[in-house]
Amino acid sequence: MTKTVTTFIFMVSSLIVFGQNIDGAFSQKKMKKDLKIFKEIRLKANSGLYKYRTEQQIDSIYNWAENKILESSTYLDFYNIICQLTDFEGSLHNETTLPEKYFRKLKEENYGYFPYPIKWIEGKWVINYQTEKIPLGSEILEINGVPVSQVIPNLYKYYTTDGQNITGKKVGIRKYFSEYYRLHYGQIEEFNVIYKTRDSEIKKNIILKSVSYSNYYKNFEGRYSKPYDQTYYIDLKENEKYTYKKLDNSTGILTINTFSMGNENTTEHKNYVTFLDSIFTKIKTENLKNLIVDVRINSGGTDPNDVITYSYLTSRDFQESKQAWISFSKIPLLKYFDISVPSFLRPLGVGKFNRHFQNRFPIKKNEKYFIGKKESEMEVRKPNKNTFTGEIYLLTSPEVASAGSLFASMVAGNKNTTVIGEETMGGYYGHNGHTSFGYVLPKSKIITDFSIDNIEQDVPKKSNQLYGRGIIPDHIVSQNYDDFLNQKDTQMKFTLELIDNEK
């Protein structure tokens, strides 16, 4: 092989590898092209674009993005711009995803990651790992000269939530903190950390060497809080998805960890319906006065599990949605759609999908296409004959989202419900959900996903429930520091004490 040919192959190979690195160069021309297409996708396909933001606010952030491109030079710069735009809209079903080749490179990185998981406790970010380097539970004050009060908001863009909700972002940060930090601040050799322990006001300094991507996640798997919170992070078996326990002659606990139990045609769904009927028949027969409904790790699932459950907890006729609409009658910008079919063949097969949307959303008003009255989401449902009429104590957390938050919102709207815990990630009054669309930006190959159904939930207006926020508890209770160290459930303890005090 000649030297010239060898040099050429090496140059081509280097360009391929370099092009797969998120820190590599990416031209402003390509950024501008993809930004224009990204905005067009949102305007034509995303019904949630103006759900929580005015047209002026959306125009303003796109002006920011255009100006930001002028000072950007890398692929990561552009990815962060798209993440910021995605998050600004305010939908927990929005997602910005790196192409597989870039994500694979991240997973192979052998340095650059903060070594330890952290957790939000009593308004502070603390070390959630036992190590000799830095004491468990130490409060992080500063990393590489930047106060943690600035670091954390810079990472919000990577974990979307409904409306202006912030609590839900802490769910993402407690698991993905190190990865998010790397995406925002770059690949760093070491971290200069200022911290203090709980029993001292003296600020201490330590230099922590960075670890690999995989070693950070190994440390996360070994986090101190795992015995307390491991159900948040595992694939639940059927017998872990829901449970019921009678505490005493007046109180029971119904725990619903997910609504991912299939639809009406699945055996798992039918088993769940049988479970509900059995326990609520028993609750009624035993004349229980109090029911704790724990949905703290319920991030959603499939219809109609949420509304069937609610039928056992309400005395009113109800609907899953007051209304729902999308912003098109035919799938727009088909050539960028995230499917494996070649773009020139897509128009040939899209007809049946367009007819599906036209049948499902037949009512056009002001360029919006509203769901038909005969769809299951609009069905007026009756309370179950064994519905619980006593006092409901609903336990919520920032993990609650999608179908989980829709269900929790309806329960929270009951007059006989007391909500305890933390604000949910999912909105009280509505969300964008049901049908997910994905598009691929042509130059960067960044994938953007969002749900197209703009949903107004069937919930009453309440003075403590704010538009653009999650379900706000009547009693805001988070795990406290002592219970973190002892791996105890602060919220359940508070609830049981509340019930005892009200007897």
Residue that is last in its domain, among 77, 92, 107: 92
Q: Are strands 290-294 and 251-256 parallel, antiparallel or unpaired?
A: parallel
Nearest residue to 447 via CA among 147, 160, 153, 100: 100
Would residue 276 count as lying in a domain? yes
**Same domain? 87 vs 126:** no
> DSSP letters of 132-178?
SSS-TTPEEEEETTEEHHHHHHHHGGGS--STT--HHHHHHHHHHHH
Kindly state whether residues 280 and 394 are assigned to the same domain.
yes
pTM equals 0.92
- Within-domain flag for 471: yes
Q: What pLDDT was estimated at residue 7? A: 37
SS3 for 273-325, per residue? HHHHHHHHHHHHHHCCCEEEEECCCCCCECCCHHHHHHCCCCCCCECCEEEEE
Query: How high is the pLDDT of residue 115?
Result: 98
In a domain, residue 378? The reply is: yes
* pLDDT at residue 10, as a whole number: 37
* Whether residues 197 and 129 fall in one domain: yes
CA atoms of 477 and 331, how far apart (whole Å): 44
Helix (H, G, I), strand (E, B) or coil at 267: helix
The CA-CA-CA angle for residues 160, 166, 172, to 5°, reads 50
| Tens digit of pLDDT at every position of the chain (503 positions) | 333 333 333 333 334 434 478 999 999 999 999 999 999 999 999 999 999 999 999 999 999 999 999 999 999 999 999 999 999 999 999 999 999 999 999 999 999 999 999 999 999 999 999 999 999 999 999 999 999 999 999 999 999 999 999 999 999 999 999 999 999 999 999 999 999 999 899 999 999 999 999 999 999 999 999 999 998 888 899 999 999 999 999 999 999 999 999 999 999 999 999 999 999 999 999 999 999 999 999 999 999 999 999 999 999 999 999 999 999 999 999 999 998 887 777 887 788 899 999 999 999 999 999 999 999 999 999 999 999 999 999 999 999 999 999 999 999 999 999 999 999 999 999 999 999 999 999 999 999 999 999 999 999 999 999 999 999 999 999 999 999 999 999 999 999 999 998 86
CATH number at residue 352: 3.90.226.10
Q: Does 310 share its domain with 406? A: yes
Q: Are 438 and 45 in contact (CB under 8 A)?
A: no
Q: How many residues does the chain have?
A: 503
What pLDDT, on the 0 to 100 scale, is given for residue 6?
Answer: 36
Show which of 224, 253, 269 is a domain's final residue: 224
Q: How many domains, in total, are found in the chain?
A: 3
* 157, 35: one domain: no
Tokens of 268: 């798992």
Task: Give residues with Cβ within 8 angstroms of 366, minimum separation 6.
Answer: none
- What residues form DSSP beta bridges with 246? 252
Q: Are residues 317 and 359 in the same domain?
A: yes
- Report which secondary-structure segment, H or E, holds 213: helix 213-221
Q: Is 170 in the same domain as 56?
A: no
| pLDDT of res. 294 | 98
What is the 8-class DSSP label of residue 424?
-
How high is the pLDDT of residue 340? 82
Residues 428, 283 share a domain: yes
50 and 181, same domain (yes or no): no
Residue at 445 is within a domain: no
- Virtual CA dihedral for 228, 231, 232, 237, nearest 10 degrees? 180
DSSP annotation of 12 reads: H
Residue 229 within any structural domain of the chain: no
Residue 187 belongs to some domain of the structure? yes
Residue 478 dihedral angles phi and psi, to the nearest 5°: -115, 165
Residue 188 belongs to domain spanning: 118-224
Domain match, 380 and 494 both: yes
433 and 335, same domain (yes or no): yes
**Is 252 a domain residue?**
yes
Region of 366 (left: φ > 0; alpha: ψ -120 to 50; beta: rest) is left
Which residues share a beta bridge with 204?
Answer: 195
What residues contact 61, with CB distance under 8 A and at least 6 apart? 53, 84, 85, 88
Residue 243 in contact with residue 231, Cβ under 8 Å?
no
- The last residue of a domain, from among 194, 224, 254: 224
CATH, residue 218: 2.30.42.10
Q: Which neighbouring-strand residues pair with 325?
A: 370, 454
Q: Is residue 106 part of a domain?
A: no
My answer on whether 216 and 291 are in the same domain is no
Cβ atoms within 10 Å of 348's Cβ, excluding its own: 8
pLDDT of residue 502: 82
